[in-house]
């Protein structure tokens, strides 16, 4: 799956490289659509067939370790492919840098999905009040997050603060808005059946 996803990602990024905003108002980057579509469809299939509930601990741990290894390998990979020198070939095009990045990114996506499911199932398998609110609204928050985050980023663009401090102040507002608006949207009659 990860290898097929890497090939699809590489091919899609030939005409649509990363950071190419093809529909600016919604912040859409078509270079990521192969991953979005494949992981969404696979998630539906996995849910309906209970694959993730039956994920063996050994398999989950393997993928979690792979995710950590891939995260550690990110910096050396970016050094090798020239990104440190300002070369952005990895973002797309017919070159080995884009192919390497597509493979790395696709394996990271799959390993994070499987590894985090294992980790959360094993170590954080409970629901409190906050989780009880977040879980049913997560998908809607995901669907609406891009324009909300874009709006907030533009709104605070002129605020002169250290970037990490600005992020630390804006991120909780963004999360609260995404989940709060998601909960309101789900109250629309019939919306909770599809969201």
77 CB-contact burial (10 Å; exposed 0-12 / middle 13-18 / buried 19+): middle
What tens digit of pLDDT does each residue of 64-114 get?
999 999 999 999 999 999 888 888 999 999 999 999 999 999 999 999 999
Q: What is the structure's pLDDT at 24?
A: 64
- For residue 9, how many other CB atoms are within 10 A of its CB? 25
Please tell me the pTM assigned to this model.
Answer: 0.75
User: For residue 32, what are the CA distances in angstroms to 22, 142, 174?
Assistant: 12, 15, 22
Q: Which two tokens stand for residue 118?
A: 């294992």
* Cα 58 from chain centroid (whole Å): 24
The residues that bridge with 28 in the sheet, in sequence order, are: 23
Is residue 136 predicted with pLDDT exceeding 90? yes
> Mean pLDDT, to the nearest integer, of 24-53?
87
60 CB-contact burial (10 Å; exposed 0-12 / middle 13-18 / buried 19+): buried
Output phi, psi for 55, to 5 deg: -60, 115
Q: What is the DSSP string of 21-88?
A: -SBGGGTB-GGGHHHHHHHHHHHHHHHHTTTTTT--HHHHHHHHHHHHHHHHHHHHHHHHTTGGGT--
Contact 115/65 with Cβ under 8 angstroms? yes
Is residue 36 predicted with pLDDT exceeding 80? yes
| Per-domain boundaries in the chain | 2-123, 129-194
Rounded distance between C-alpha atoms, residue 5 and residue 13, angstroms: 12
Dmax of the chain from CA atoms?
A: 53
């Amino acid at each position: 799956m990860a290898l097929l996803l890497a090939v699809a990602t590489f091919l899609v990024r030939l005409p649509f490289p990363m950071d190419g905003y093809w529909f600016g108002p919604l912040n859409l980057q078509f270079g990521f659509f192969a991953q979005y579509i494949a992981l969404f469809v696979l998630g539906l299939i996995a849910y309906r067939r209970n694959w993730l509930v039956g994920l063996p601990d050994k398999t989950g741990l393997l993928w979690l370790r792979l995710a950590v290894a891939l995260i550690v390998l990110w910096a050396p990979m970016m050094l090798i492919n020239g990104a440190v020198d300002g070369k952005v070939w990895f973002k797309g095009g017919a070159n080995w840098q884009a192919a390497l990045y597509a493979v790395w990114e696709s394996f990271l996506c799959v390993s994070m999905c499987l590894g985090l499911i294992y980790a959360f199932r094993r170590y954080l398998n409970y629901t409190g009040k906050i989780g009880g609110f977040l879980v049913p609204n997560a998908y809607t928050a995901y669907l609406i997050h891009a324009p909300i985050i874009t709006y907030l980023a533009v709104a605070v663009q002129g605020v002169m603060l250290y970037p990490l401090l600005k992020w630390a102040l804006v991120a909780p507002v963004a999360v609260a808005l995404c989940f709060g608006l998601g909960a309101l949207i789900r109250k629309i009659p019939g919306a909770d059946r599809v969201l």
